[in-house]
């Protein structure tokens, strides 16, 4: 008789790890004489003495249980699992929910098998009794397990009535059972267990709530439960939830419900409003190419995209769209003063930047490096051409911008790397590994990762000293660098060009200004808050920022060690 310790897996077999702690493999290969209690304690033993982490152990055990349920559990797999569900709480709270999910989900592949249909029907009554025991707190199981039992065993009101009242059922017994379950529904609602309450109401046709319940569901962000309950209540409630979604600008959810329930006549504008909202979100992210693809089949949407570009001050995009889709007449009908909101954004004039220097040849690289080495504080950022194909690798980093508070350099990495990779590596190592220059970034670790992926043979992007990620200094700041700029400097950044084509040469002046601004604003934010804890620097200490400075020195490349 084979013995094994629950722990490691090779293929589909368990391998022994400790001869002094083992269980019989035979117990899993033949359940015909193994009680539910014995099975559960053996299963727990497998888990406790396994050597893998929790998730892999549960995954392997799940496969073992699915196989074991084909090996003669008496009187059948569904009844056997219900019996196990009574045992599980005795194993301890830390294991109960995980084992319960494992066992119940192991039944799914058996439901279509004709040989177990009689056991499934018999087990429904036992499962209904288990549900009553869970509701009455006689058997302690999580509410999610309760809902899963109802779904897996397809428990109906008559099954619950049979468990509650006995085998001979009349209409009064069904009414009595529904009233009994209603009390539990009210209890779940009182404790704000809305998902469980909705599961009971929809399954057993319990109508004990009005539209105020729908508002509670939406307010507590239980949107799936809200939609299930609205569908259960009928068209009037579905119309109400769509209206509520519209009120709180949840246009995507509203549009999906309108389509699902064929309510276009009641809500004729929702689909268009949703498309407009999608275009606006794409524009705010700078995903103009994607937005254009979404809009080009509808003239009104294309006009709206032009409006968004004009509103953002992205005039080269306005010109590009107008020329491509002959929309000059639409643009001329707009009043620029009412559309343009460029004053809402921070610009280089407000920061008094003296010069933007484009660097695409080696002499310029050397001169720029010498200037930067004399700076105490610099901002660093980089850009690359967006790739909109799902699952594809990002494009190579195209430019890196480095700025002091007065001067910004934009380095054409693609050309500099092609011309002289050794000199490029040398110059940037002098910058990145200098302990005399504080290098500011916003999520700069992400940029450095992208740089190392793009130019992996260069050491300059493998090591750094004196790096400070500005975002780590602030609590609860939303909107990325633009949001932080608005909080600290009073104006956000116009991010409409973020996803433009950074590989085109020459870059437009607007692209250069955008790139420079992303670097120089870091220096201004840092200067502004270094001595002003009221802006939200962690723990309010002026020197707190020093604790967030990081370095990574990669002296030699060596193989990974495990």
pLDDT less than 50: residues of the chain? 1-24, 341, 534-542, 556-562
Determine whether domain 349-552 maps to CATH 3.30.420.10. yes
Cβ(386)–Cβ(287) under 8 Å?
A: yes
Q: Which residues pair with 377 in a beta bridge?
A: 438
**Residue 27: its pLDDT value, please?**
61
What CA–CA distance (Å, rounded) separates 513 from 412? 15
313-340 burial string, b = 16+ CB within 10 Å, else e?
bbeebbeebbeebebeebbeebeeeebe
**Residue 286: its pLDDT value, please?**
84
> Helical H runs in 314-443?
315-325, 328-333, 336-339, 348-351, 362-373, 413-419, 421-432
**Residue 316: its pLDDT value, please?**
83
Q: Break the chain into its structural domains and give their ranges.
A: 3-155, 270-344, 349-552
- Which residues, including other chains, have CB under 8 Å from residue 454's CB and lie 6 or more apart? 384, 396, 397, 413
pLDDT one-digit tens code per residue, 462-509: 889 999 999 888 766 667 888 888 888 888 888 878 888 899 999 989
Cβ(409)–Cβ(359) under 8 Å?
A: yes
- What is the maximum alpha-carbon separation in the chain? 96
The answer to whether the predicted template modeling score (pTM) of the entire model surpasses 0.85 is no
| Nearest in space to 499 (alpha carbons), one of 357, 380, 401, 394 | 394
**Residue 358: its pLDDT value, please?**
97
**Residue 284: its pLDDT value, please?**
83
What CA–CA distance (Å, rounded) separates 80 from 212? 42
| Nearest in space to 186 (alpha carbons), one of 200, 174, 172, 173 | 200
Phi (first) and psi of residue 210, to 5 degrees: -115, -165
- In 350-499, beta strands by DSSP E: 355-359, 377-384, 397-403, 407-412, 438-441, 464-469
**Residue 201: its pLDDT value, please?**
97
Environment class of 357 (CB within 10 Å of its CB; exposed 0-12, middle 13-18, buried 19+): middle
């Amino acid at each position: 008789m084979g013995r094994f310790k629950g722990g490691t897996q090779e293929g589909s077999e368990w391998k022994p790890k400790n001869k002094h702690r083992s269980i019989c493999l035979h117990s899993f290969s033949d359940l015909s004489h193994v009680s539910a209690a014995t099975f559960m304690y053996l299963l727990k033993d497998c888990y406790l003495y396994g050597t893998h982490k929790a998730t892999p152990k549960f995954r392997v055990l799940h496969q073992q249980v699915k196989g074991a349920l084909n090996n003669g559990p008496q009187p059948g797999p569904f009844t056997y699992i219900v019996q196990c569900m009574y045992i599980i709480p005795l194993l301890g709270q830390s294991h109960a929910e995980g084992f319960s999910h494992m066992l119940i989900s192991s039944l799914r592949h058996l439901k279509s098998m004709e040989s177990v249909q009689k056991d499934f029907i018999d087990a429904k009554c036992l499962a209904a009794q288990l549900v009553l025991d869970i509701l009455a707190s006689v058997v302690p199981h999580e509410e999610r397990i309760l809902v899963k039992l109802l779904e897996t065993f397809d428990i109906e009101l008559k099954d619950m009535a049979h468990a509650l009242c006995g085998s001979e059922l009349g209409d009064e017994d069904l009414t009595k059972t529904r009233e009994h379950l209603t009390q539990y529904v009210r209890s779940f609602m009182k404790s704000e267990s809305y998902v469980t309450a909705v599961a009971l109401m929809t399954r057993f046709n319990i109508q004990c709530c009005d539209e105020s319940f729908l508002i509670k569901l939406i307010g507590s962000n239980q949107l799936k439960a809200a939609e299930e309950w609205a569908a259960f209540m009928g068209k009037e409630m579905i119309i109400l939830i769509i209206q509520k979604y519209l009120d709180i600008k949840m246009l995507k959810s509203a549009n999906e419900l309108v389509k699902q329930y064929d309510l276009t006549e009641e809500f004729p504008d929702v689909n268009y409003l949703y498309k407009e909202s999608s275009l606006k979100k794409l524009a705010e992210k700078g995903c103009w190419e994607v937005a254009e693809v979404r809009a080009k089949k509808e003239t009104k949407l294309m006009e709206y995209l032009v409006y968004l570009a004009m509103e953002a001050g992205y005039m080269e995009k306005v010109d590009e769209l107008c020329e491509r889709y002959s929309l000059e007449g639409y643009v001329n009908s707009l009043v620029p003063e009412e559309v343009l909101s460029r004053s809402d954004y921070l610009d280089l004039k407000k920061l008094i930047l003296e010069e933007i220097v484009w660097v695409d040849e080696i002499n310029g690289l050397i001169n720029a490096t010498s200037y930067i080495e004399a700076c105490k504080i610099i901002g660093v950022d980089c850009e690359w051409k967006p790739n909109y194909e799902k699952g594809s690798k990002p494009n190579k980093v195209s430019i890196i911008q480095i700025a002091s508070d007065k001067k910004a350099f934009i380095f054409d990495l693609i050309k500099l790397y092609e011309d002289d990779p050794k000199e490029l590596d040398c110059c940037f190592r002098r910058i990145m590994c200098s302990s005399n220059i504080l290098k500011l970034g916003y999520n700069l670790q992400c940029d450095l990762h992208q740089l190392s992926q793009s130019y992996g043979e260069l050491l300059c992007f493998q090591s750094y000293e004196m790096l400070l990620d500005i975002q780590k200094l602030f609590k609860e700041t939303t909107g990325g660098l633009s949001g932080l700029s608005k909080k600290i400097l009073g104006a956000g950044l116009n991010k409409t060009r973020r996803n433009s084509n950074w590989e085109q040469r020459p870059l437009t002046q607007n692209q250069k200004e955008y790139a420079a601004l992303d670097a120089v604003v870091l220096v201004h934010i840092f200067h502004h808050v270094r001595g002003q804890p009221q802006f939200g620097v962690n723990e309010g200490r002026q020197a707190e920022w020093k604790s967030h400075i990081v370095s990574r020195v990669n002296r030699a490349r060596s193989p990974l060690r495990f």
